[in-house]
Amino acid sequence: MDRAHAPTPRSARSPTESGRACRGRSWRKGCPVGRQSLRIVRVSYWAFDGYVRRGEIVVNKSVASSTAKLFTDLFAAKAPIRSMYRVDRFGYSKTLRGADDLRSMRADNTSGFNCRRVVGWTSRMSPHAVGRSIDINPWENPFASRTGYQPNKSWARRTKPAAITYRGTNDPVVKIFRKHGFRWLGKSDLQHFQR
């Protein structure tokens, strides 16, 4: 796995070291993409507390450049992001057979590649398994699973959405993703964008 650079300060890590970090959690033998097809994109973002933080997201190399550009635009728009860690940080899920996306979502973590099954529908492989999907602020923007909204089951009872939720195609965050070729899944999966 190589590192794709965001337009903010750059740092490099060897492909071997980056690959070891995800082996056995978000990547394993038999995944739809090899580790050589993945890139780590490091970006700066505006956290919910108003401070600038650094984050990392793993994506397919085919979307690494556009991912760096869209997060640059999100930064310029001061679109808040709770956190952005590689999903491996949240451990392994036997149920999902990949990194623990449920823990990542409950932590409101923005993430990309994860060779795992679909939450609530484990007979299917997630589109995140090819590294061309991004979930952003998943606690505020849950998805409708077979068992209700995940990870925030109380979301449907909210009457006043926060500024960090995406409710329609004219939302600034949705527009920025669309500008860079990412399609929003809308009300069925508010956090999810893919190419």
Count of structural domains, the chain: 1
Cis amide prior to 80 (ω within 30 degrees): no
Residue 14, pLDDT score? 38
Strand order in the sheet with 183-184: 133-135, 192-194, 183-184
Q: Where are the beta strands (DSSP E) in the chain?
A: 2-5, 38-46, 52-60, 92-93, 98-99, 117-118, 121-125, 133-135, 143-145, 148-150, 183-184, 192-194
Tell how strand 2-5 and strand 38-46 pair up: parallel
Q: Report how far residue 108's alpha carbon sits from residue 55's, in angstroms, rounded to the nearest whole number.
A: 13
Secondary structure (3-state) at 132: coil
Torsion-angle region of residue 188: left (phi > 0), alpha (psi -120 to 50) or beta? Answer: alpha
**pLDDT interval class at 5 (50, 70, 90):** very low
Residue 10, pLDDT score:
37
Quick count: other Cβ atoms within 10 Å of Cβ 151? Answer: 20
Degrees, nearest 5: CA angle 162-165-166: 140
Strand 148-150 and strand 143-145: pairing? antiparallel
Mean pLDDT, the chain, rounded, equals: 83
What's the rounded Cα separation, in Å, for the pair 72 and 180? 11
Residue 13 has a pLDDT of: 44
Q: Inform me whether the pLDDT recorded for 157 exceeds 80.
A: no
- Cut 0.75: pTM above it: yes
Task: Quote the pLDDT of residue 122.
Answer: 66
Which residue do the tokens 């085919």 mark?
Answer: 62
Mean pLDDT throughout 69-93?
Answer: 95
Q: Rounded to an integer, what distance in angstroms lies between the CA atom of residue 55 and that of residue 81?
A: 10
Q: Which domain holds residue 93?
A: 2-194
Alpha-carbon distances, residue 163 vs 79, 166, 178 (angstroms)? 9, 8, 19
**SS3 sequence of 136-152:** CCCCCCCEEECCEEECC
